[in-house]
Each structure stands twice: as C-alpha cells, then as structure tokens.
C-alpha cells in the first residue's frame, strides 16, 4: 500500500495513487490521480528546485511519513494527510468526516477529503477538503474586487476576469503557504467549518505546501519554485502617463512636451488601444500615427519611453485572420460559432497556449513596433475577456478551457518575454491585465483592470494590491483615479483622484490612467479613428489645487527612486513584495496581523492612505520593534501604539523607520 520511490512517498488504495515529494526547501508537492501513473505536467512548478534539506521517509502498516526540512506529512492507511512543522504543530489537515477505528474521531457523514466525480469521457471534477481553523488568517490568492485583505470566510472563483486575477497561493497566519497548482476553472471556499478547493474539470490533484517561521520565509520559498521577476529597468520606477486614449501622434507628443515644459518628471507615456488599423493586425494606423520612429526618437530625447497597447483579439476581417485560423492559432469554440467578443465587430482571441501562435504574434509586433523602438508593451484583455464567461464553450491547444483557462495570461506574457529576451532585452517589463502563478518571471507588471473611479474602488484596489504581492506577483499597479467614469470638473472626483494619486506614489509602479468623462468623439470611421476618447487626464486637468498636490507627489516619487531601486532588487533576488501588509515586516507583533488599511512600502516606509471622502484625519498603528518618524510633523514615536494623524487634502500619513536611510517630508 505504501512504498518509497526515490525521495517520493507513494500510496495506492481504492484506485487512487497519492504521491508526496520534496519540492524546494521545507516544502512538499502533493499529487493524486485516479490511476497508476502521474501526469507529467508542471503548470507553475516548472523546474524542480535544488533541495538542500534532508528528506526522511518512514513506512509501516498504518502510516507513511515524509519529512523535508521543517515540514512533515503523515499519511494514514486510508490516504488522509496531515502536515506538521518542525515543532510538531499541525499546519493543515485533510478533512476527517468518516468512520475510522484508528483515530479517536469518527463521523457517519462519510464526506471524503478528496472527492472525484467522473465526467463522461474520462476526466473528473475534483473537490479537496481540509479542516478549518476559525482563527486562521489567509492572505494572497491574487486580485479580487471585494475589498478584504484577509481571505478567511471568503469564497473565491478560480476564474480570470477583467479586474480579477486568480493566483491561487496564500500565506497562512499558522505558518505555512499553500499553492493550488491547477489552472482549471473552479472555486475555493475558506469557510469557518471547512476549506474546499474545487476544479470543474481536471485530471489530477496537484498542490504544494511550505512551512516557514515568517511570512517572508514562506513567500521566498514560493518564489524559488515558481519564479522571480527580472530586475525592473530604471525608467519604470518613475511616473507613467496614460489616458483613454491619445488619438494622434501630435496629441501624444504635445502632452509629453507639456510635461517637460512644466519641469515635471515623466518616465513613460502610453499609446492605448485603437491606434491600429484593425484588431489582429498589430501595427500603427498611418493616418493618425504617420511617423512612429520619429515620435519615439523625440520621446527618448526627453527621457520618455513609449508603451503601446497590444490586444490578443483578431477581427474576422483582419489581414491575419485567415492564416491564423488555418494554422489553428486561434482559440476554438467547442459549441457554436467562433466569436468570443463583440467589440466594433466579431472578434476571436489568439491561442496563447500555442507556442507557434505566440511566435506568430510576436513576429508581427516585432516588425511593427519593437523594431521601430518600442520596448514596452501593454498586454490588455489578457484574461482573455470573453464576451460570455461561459468556459465550457472554449478550447485551447493544451485542452478545454475548463481544464486550463486560468493559465492563459501567463502564456500571453511569456510570448513577449521570450521574444524580447531573444532580441537582447535583459530587463523585460510589460503591463498585463491578468496573471497566474509564475507570470512574474515573464516580466509581468499586473494592473487591476477597469475598476470604478470612486473611493470604494480605491479601497478595493488597496487590498487587491497587497494580496497580489503575497501571491508572488511583486510588480503591481492600478489606474490612479480608477478607470470607469470620473469627471475632471467634479469636486468630489478631484478629491478622490488626489487621494488615489498620493497612494499611487507608494505603489510599485505609479501610473495615471482612466476613461474620464465626457467622451470625445471619434476622428473617423475606421482603424485608428474608429473609437472615441476620454476627457483630459493629465496632472493639470483637475484644477490648480489638485495640480499642486499632484506635482508635490510626483517630485516625491522621483526623490524615492534610489530607495525604490533597492526594493526592486530585493523583488528580483528573493521575490519580495514591494508593498506588503505590516505583518510581513513585523510578524511577531500580533497587532500588525489585524491592520488591514495600512501597508509597508519596503521595510522602512509605512503608508496609511486616506480612502474615504472628506476624511481629514485617521488612526495609524505603528508596529513594535522600531521608532517611527512622522513625515508630516517630524515627530519620532516609539512603535507598538496607535496614533491619530492629521491628513489635510495635501497630506497622506506616512512614517519612516527612524534610523533608516529614507528621509523625506510631506
């Protein structure tokens, strides 16, 4: 029943094979399948890492045990598994609701810990259950628009959608990290009574668990097995300017020149969607962008990089559709007509899971953008954003969408990363609207999608950004001011965007974007003139008071670039989140685990954003173990206490760790 295969513990019973093996320091990979042979698929665990801790396996008639460093798994004869840390404390235990004479607890419910429900044709839906500790706190899981930092008692769909990025790794307050290594569509419920992971369609169970004394140890061990980001290029650490949408080359250059005329720092400016001739042609429309090379040369002379929007959509009347369809480079429909999105026509998505399709798209992009000087791409619609999120309809090269759809955005990012590194780029960064585990190693800067332009939207993005970092994606950003709506002349929105801008100065990337109302009319009826634009969205577009405040934080961001570079180096080397909850740096301060509306920006800067309208003061917790300098008043305060901070419109409460090299005033 139990056997050892090399450094693996294997158990066969009732037609299921369970395999547990070391996978990185203090970590185990757990797989199970209905059958006698595991599937050779890695998903995000692409390369088995070098293991430097001793692995011990023991077997008797009733139990099998495997220990790898600080984590131990014990498997009962019936397959139920319990994970322990080095002190013998239970970290996680499979759900026990059946009769068993070998344990004290018996139940007539007969609810299995691993429930396989067969589909006609051979695959399964799978539900995996674990015991729940009601006092546990759970952080990570990617980006969800519910506003909660602690995911305990939440039910999360494992689906990629506009503004939702499912990255199924979490850090537990009990001292472990858990990764559901399965890109299938499904859900997870972190209930008070039970934790359940569900895949609608899958072929095997696959998860990874690690033990650590601190959140940083857990996150770093996860980064070792799923990947770390490249080093961020220096220019990306400054300010990015964007709007919906600069309609012409002259308009964009005029904005860049105005930033320079005003003496304002600007690192990146963006050419958004519908600058192209058609969906799936991936090139500038010469009617509106007649001289891309000249435009890029002028921008570079001002120290500004150009970012260009790339959509994975292909119109059925585009010049590339027939070839891509013939060569199976497009996502297919299992049922009905192949149309995935109706947006100025009938559109389909290219199949990013197909390496040949990725190469085809990259070659078009290289010819029409990269070779002209564009080194930064905005990979929009990366979920992909189906007009109908009914995943049973769609099929990729690697399988039906139900089985693997969540990995699509990672392959989308990989196609550009592979092409750019082959072309000689060693610091790849691309803005991507979605991610899955491992996206970070392909230079993915994830942003939070088309979110609402409101204080509620700001609060939701604050929690999403922290959870994204803890899920292994250190590069994250949000549309400052939100995307949907936002009237520049509205005093209430001006307050919102000022507060969002202040928070944005302490995000991994500071990027202004948004729809902005009212819309401007299209310039034409086809190509780059087909779509409307939004109202002005530059820092001077919101009145003189807002402008002076935004200018203040632009200059502050610029002054912090040496510090930010150190944070990006740490992210590159260890996978460390750039923004993180207080407990990441102060894990032994129990109060820090309860603070959900403050963040650390690196180890030395504590940020307490203003996220409610008309708020002009707030309470801030200063963690134990450090003294803190109020950057507004200059007062130095001993940690381990709550303080009340004044927050007039031009001030965001920020504290620096006393004695650190970071010193600035607000």
What confidence tens digit (pLDDT) does each residue in 470-490 have? Answer: 999 999 999 999 999 999 999
Task: Quickly count: other Cβ atoms within 10 Å of residue 53's Cβ.
Answer: 15
Q: Are 542 and 643 members of one domain? A: no
User: Do 166 and 243 reside in the same domain of the chain?
Assistant: no
321 domain residue, yes or no: no
Same domain, 136 and 240: no
Q: Mean pLDDT, to the nearest integer, of 386-413?
A: 97
**Structural domain total, the chain:** 3
Domain at 526, CATH number: 3.20.20.80
Mean of all residue pLDDT scores within the chain:
96
544 and 600 in a single domain? The answer is: no
Contacts of residue 523, Cβ cutoff 8 Å, sequence gap at least 6: 247, 248, 288, 529
Same domain, 570 and 585: no
User: Of the candidates 191, 226, 261, which is a domain's last residue?
Assistant: 226
Residue 83 is predicted with a pLDDT of 98
Task: List pLDDT tens digits, range 589-626.
Answer: 999 999 999 999 999 999 999 999 999 999 999 999 99
Which of these ranges, 100-114, 124-138, 482-496, has the smallest mean pLDDT? 100-114
Strands (E) across 173-227 are located at 176-180, 186-190, 194-202, 205-211
**CA–centroid distance for 86 within its chain:** 31
Query: Rounded to an integer, what distance in angstroms lies between the CA atom of residue 402 and that of residue 426?
Result: 35
Query: What is the crossing angle of helices 455-470 and 491-504, to 10°?
Result: 20
Task: Tell whether 451 and 545 lie within a shared domain.
Answer: yes
110 falls within a domain: yes
Distance, CA of 111 to CA of 31 (rounded, Å): 20
Does 452 map to a domain? yes
Give the Cα separation of 189 and 184 in Å (integer): 15
CA dist 205 and 249 (Å) reads 51
Shared-domain flag, residues 363 and 479 = yes
Domain boundary among 176, 200, 226: 226
Find where tokens 């023991």 sit. Answer: 58
Residues 190 and 107 both lie in one domain:
yes
Q: What is the pTM (predicted TM-score) of this model? A: 0.97
Give yes or no for residue 413 having a pLDDT over 80: yes
Please write the tens of the pLDDT for every residue from 266-312.
999 999 999 999 999 999 999 999 999 999 999 999 999 999 999 99
Helix (H) or strand (E) holding 470: helix 455-470
Given a cut of 50, whether residue 172 has pLDDT beyond it is yes
Determine, yes or no, domain membership for 345: no
Give the model's pLDDT for residue 213. Answer: 97
Q: pLDDT grade, residue 49 (50/70/90)?
A: low
Structural domain ending residue among the three candidates 543, 574, 605 = 574
Residues with a known catalytic role:
380, 383, 450
Percent of the chain with pLDDT over 70: 98
Q: Domain for residue 444, yes or no?
A: yes
Pick the residue with more confidence: 563 or 48?
563
Q: Is residue 332 part of a domain?
A: no
Confidence at residue 1, expressed as pLDDT on a 0 to 100 scale: 85
Q: Which domain holds residue 518?
A: 234-311+355-574
By DSSP bridging, strand 268-271 and strand 63-68 are unpaired
């Amino acid at each position: 029943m139990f056997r050892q295969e090399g450094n693996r513990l294997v158990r066969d019973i009732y037609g299921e094979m369970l395999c547990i093996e070391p996978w990185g320091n203090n970590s185990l990979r757990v797989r199970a399948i209905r059958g006698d042979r595991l599937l050779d698929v890695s998903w995000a665990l692409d390369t088995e890492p070098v293991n430097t801790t001793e692995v011990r396996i023991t077997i008797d008639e009733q139990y099998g045990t495997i220990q790898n460093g600080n984590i131990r798994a014990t498997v009962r004869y019936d397959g139920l598994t319990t994970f322990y840390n080095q002190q013998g404390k239970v970290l996680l235990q499979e759900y026990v609701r059946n009769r068993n004479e070998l344990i004290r607890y018996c139940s007539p419910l007969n609810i299995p810990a691993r429930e396989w429900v067969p589909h006609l044709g051979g695959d399964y839906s799978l539900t995996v259950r674990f015991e729940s500790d009601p006092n546990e706190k759970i952080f990570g899981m990617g980006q969800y628009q519910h506003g909660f930092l602690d995911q305990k008692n939440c039910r999360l769909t494992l689906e990629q959608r506009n503004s939702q990025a499912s990255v199924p790794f979490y850090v537990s307050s009990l001292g472990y990290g858990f990764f559901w290594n399965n890109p299938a569509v499904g859900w997870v419920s972190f209930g008070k009574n039970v934790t359940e992971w569900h895949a609608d369609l899958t072929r095997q169970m696959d998860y990874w668990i690690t033990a650590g004394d601190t959140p940083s140890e857990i996150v770093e061990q996860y980064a070792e097995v799923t990947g770390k980001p490249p080093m961020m290029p220096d220019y990306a650490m400054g300010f990015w300017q964007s709007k919906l949408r600069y309609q012409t080359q002259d308009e964009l250059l005029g904005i860049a020149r105005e930033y320079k005329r005003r003496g304002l720092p600007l690192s990146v400016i963006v050419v958004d969607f519908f600058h192209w001739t058609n969906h799936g042609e991936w090139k500038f429309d010469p009617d509106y962008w007649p001289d891309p090379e000249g435009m890029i040369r002028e921008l570079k002379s001002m120290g500004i990089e150009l970012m260009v929007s790339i959509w994975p959509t292909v119109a059925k009347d585009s010049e590339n559709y027939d070839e891509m369809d013939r060569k199976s480079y497009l996502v297919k429909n299992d049922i009905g007509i192949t149309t995935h999105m109706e947006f100025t026509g009938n559109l389909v998505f290219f199949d990013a899971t197909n390496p040949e399709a990725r190469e085809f798209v990259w070659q078009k992009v290289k010819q029409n953008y990269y070779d002209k000087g564009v080194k930064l791409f905005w990979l929009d619609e990366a979920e992909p954003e189906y007009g109908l999120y009914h995943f049973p309809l769609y099929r990729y090269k690697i399988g039906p969408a139900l089985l693997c759809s969540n990995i699509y955005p990672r392959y989308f990012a990989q196609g550009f990363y592979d092409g750019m590194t082959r072309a000689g780029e060693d610091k790849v960064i691309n803005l991507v609207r979605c991610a899955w585990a491992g996206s970070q190693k392909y230079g993915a800067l994830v942003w939070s999608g088309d979110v609402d332009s409101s204080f509620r939207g700001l609060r939701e993005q604050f929690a999403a950004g922290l959870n994204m970092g803890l899920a292994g994606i250190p590069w994250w950003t949000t549309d400052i001011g939100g995307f949907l709506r936002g009237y520049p002349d509205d005093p209430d929105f001006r307050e919102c965007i000022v507060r969002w801008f202040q928070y944005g100065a302490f995000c991994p990337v500071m990027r202004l974007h948004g729809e902005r109302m009212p819309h401007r009319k299209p310039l034409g009826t086809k190509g780059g003139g087909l779509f409307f634009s939004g109202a002005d969205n530059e820092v001077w577009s919101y009145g003189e008071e807002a402008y002076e405040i935004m200018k203040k934080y632009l200059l502050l961001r610029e002054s912090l670039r040496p510090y930010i570079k150190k944070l990006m180096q740490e992210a590159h080397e260890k996978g460390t989140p750039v923004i993180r909850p207080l407990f990441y740096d102060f894990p032994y301060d129990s109060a820090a685990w309860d603070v959900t509306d403050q963040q650390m920006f690196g180890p030395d800067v504590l940020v307490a954003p203003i996220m409610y309208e008309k708020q002009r003061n707030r309470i801030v917790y200063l963690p134990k173990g450090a003294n803190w300098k109020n950057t507004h008043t200059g007062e130095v305060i001993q940690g381990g206490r709550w303080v009340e901070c004044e927050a007039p419109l031009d001030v965001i409460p920020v504290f620096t760790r006393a004695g650190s090299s970071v010193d600035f005033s607000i």
